[in-house]
Structure 1
């Protein structure tokens, strides 16, 4: 009788891949976690309880078949595990690295709830797909039959690329337009290499290009090409631009030299990592080296900024957040990594204004948590008389992102947007009221997770294919 390969959580403890020492990882932008060895991946996968109602799968936005590919990994069936993972997730090696598993699949693992420590789902997912790349199992897409319909996708981020992948598998002709010189969106220029090394993104871009996806880069809609021309050139258009406009802070001193948006700071750092010539880094305006850095915000972007500042050689890095640790929106795993690397968190602290020009400090007001607000979270309240000045040479604003005014920028008044500027689109299909126009990802949801953008892109592509199939059937009658 075959030995039971699963349910070993009782006598096998949770074990993450080895994490590099903080003093070593502060010196470079390489990923901080090592790869699992084959035996360790099998061992950790075997801890899955194969429960009848897999909450890990339920709480994954893509509803990945997690118990199935964990079992396949435990049994050494890695190619099948990869194919199972790829069936629902366009970029499993990326989600394995940057998804907040502690809030999604792993945070809802049944054995975690029973006190045995969650299955390390993200690390196994990363291992499966990295192994697939190493063994040549990841191939360019070859559709069974080419179709005449074409789709234009505006934005080469995770939502746009996921849609491109799904559409090409169905034989649809796809052109992706993006304002940057490399595809990948925030995966390329927003997320630092220590969380997502850039060759991981570039090889997916190459695979899509080899699959027949046409990329038109350095192409800003409304400047280099009109939205009307894109609509005229394709049977359908998907808007997948994301949200890039930084939220403003109304306070004395806003606009002084040395007060910079988070995305500008991260983009420059990532461009430098590619080896690009970046004047804003060279002249020091977007370079933390030798500076006292203060980052304002408590989300994952703020964590990216503080950890990037450490690696650039800041003399000190502090993070101000107006609530406490338990109420911050960012990943707790990222907070722990940042603290290990030397970041100091000033909880219950909010900016009141800024001193100096160039900047010399942040006027900080201390807070306490009061009654819950409309969202159910405790609202921060100012503690009178507890203000102080936090010295700073560089202050990075990581307060979130808003949508750009697309109807104006693109001269498309019929594009429906809501009061926040995000595009109004049908749930799941992404269809808008503008004929032949769809929208996915953050430009619909507001700033959200990569995994949600992937889901939106795949769902939208499926809806477009159904629309094409319906039109073809009507034409044939």
Structure 2
């Protein structure tokens, strides 16, 4: 009788891949986790209990077949494991690196709930796909047949690229328009290399290019080409622009020099990783070296900023967040990594003003938690007379993102939006108010996770195929 390869969580402890020492990793932008060795990946995958109702699968936005590819990994059948993970996830190597597994699959693992420590799903997923790339199992897209219809995708982030993958595999001609000089959206210019090394994203972009996807870069829709022109050139359009408009501070002195947007700061840092010449870094405007840095916000973007500032050689890095640690939206794993690298978190604090131009000090309002708000979290309230000052040479605003007014910028009066400014799209199909135009990702959801954008893109790709089939059927009648 064959030996049982699974359910080894009882006598095999949870192990993450080895993390590089904080004193070493805080001086470079390389990923902080080392790769699993083959035997260690098999060992950790074998801890899966193969649940009858797998909550990891249920709580994954892509509903990945996690127990199945964990079993295949434990059995040494890595190519099959990769093919299974790729079947439901366009970018498994990216999700394995940047998904907040502690809030999704791993956070809902049954053996985690029973006290044995979760299966390290993300690390195994990353290992499977990195091995697939190394072994040459990842191939360019080769449609069985080509179709004459063309689809325009506006935005080369995870939502747009995952839709491009679905459509191109079906033989549709796909053109992706993006405002930046490289594809990938926030995966390229928003997420630092220590979480997602850039060659990982560029490899997927190259795979799409080799598969026949056309990229039109440095193209700002509404300026370089009109939305109407794009609609006229293509049989269907997908809007996947993401959200880039930064929420602004309104406190006194908030317009001083040295108070910058997180997206600008992170984009400059990521451009440097490509070897680009970046004047804003060279002149010190978006360079934290030798500066006292204060980051305002508690999400994953704030975590990216504080950890980037450490690597740039900041004198000190403090993160102000108006709630406490338990109520912050960012990944707890990221907070721990930041603390190990020397970031100081100042909980229950919010900016009340700024002095100096360039900025020299942040006036900090101390907070306490009151009654729950609409989100269910306790509402932060000001503490009377709870004001003090933090010295700062660089203040980074990481307060979240809001949607741009696409309907106005694109002169698309028939594009319906919500009261939050997001594009209104039908649940499940992602169809907008304009026939043949679809929308996915953050421009519909508001600022969210990469994995949700991937899911939206895959779903919209299927909806667009059905739309094209219906149009063809009507034309044939």
Q: TM-score, normalised by structure 2?
A: 0.99
Listed as ranges, the matches of 1:95-134 within 5 Å are 95-134=95-134
Please state how far the C-alpha of 1:469 moved relative to its aligned partner: 1.8
Is 1:218 the counterpart of 2:218? The answer is: yes
Separation in 2 of the partners of 1:203 and 1:48? 30
Listed as ranges, the matches of 1:40-439 within 5 Å are 40-439=40-439
SS at match of 1:386: strand
Per-residue CA deviation, residues 279-315 of structure 1 (Å, 9 max, x unaligned), is 0000000000000000000000000000000000000
Separation in 2 of the partners of 1:360 and 1:110? 50
Residue in 1 that maps onto 2:476:
476
Please state how far the C-alpha of 1:335 moved relative to its aligned partner: 0.0
Output the aligned Cα RMSD.
Answer: 0.6
- Equivalent residues of 2:320, 2:347 under 8 A apart: yes
- Equivalent residues of 2:306, 2:319 under 8 A apart: yes
SS at match of 1:83: helix
Please state how far the C-alpha of 1:27 moved relative to its aligned partner: 0.7
SS at match of 2:5: coil
Is 1:24 the counterpart of 2:42? The answer is: no
Please state how far the C-alpha of 1:476 moved relative to its aligned partner: 3.4
Separation in 2 of the partners of 1:474 and 1:273? 50
SS at match of 2:386: coil
Separation in 2 of the partners of 1:268 and 1:474? 49
Please state how far the C-alpha of 1:386 moved relative to its aligned partner: 1.5
For structure 1, the 5+ residue unaligned runs are none
Please state how far the C-alpha of 1:255 moved relative to its aligned partner: 0.9
Per-residue CA deviation, residues 135-185 of structure 1 (Å, 9 max, x unaligned), is 000000001110111100000000000000000011110000000000000
Residue in 1 that maps onto 2:4:
4
SS at match of 2:384: coil
SS at match of 2:166: helix
Please state how far the C-alpha of 1:374 moved relative to its aligned partner: 1.6
Per-residue CA deviation, residues 441-461 of structure 1 (Å, 9 max, x unaligned), is 000000000000000000000
SS at match of 2:175: strand
- Equivalent residues of 2:436, 2:467 under 8 A apart: no
Residue in 2 that maps onto 1:449:
449
SS at match of 1:390: strand
Q: Give the total of aligned pairs.
A: 477
Q: TM-score, normalised by structure 1?
A: 0.99
Please state how far the C-alpha of 1:124 moved relative to its aligned partner: 0.3
SS at match of 2:353: strand
Separation in 1 of the partners of 2:444 and 2:453? 10
Please state how far the C-alpha of 1:475 moved relative to its aligned partner: 3.3
SS at match of 1:200: helix
Separation in 2 of the partners of 1:314 and 1:467? 53
Separation in 1 of the partners of 2:26 and 2:369? 33
SS at match of 1:191: coil
- Equivalent residues of 2:363, 2:389 under 8 A apart: yes
For structure 2, the 5+ residue unaligned runs are none
SS at match of 1:137: coil
Separation in 1 of the partners of 2:177 and 2:446? 21
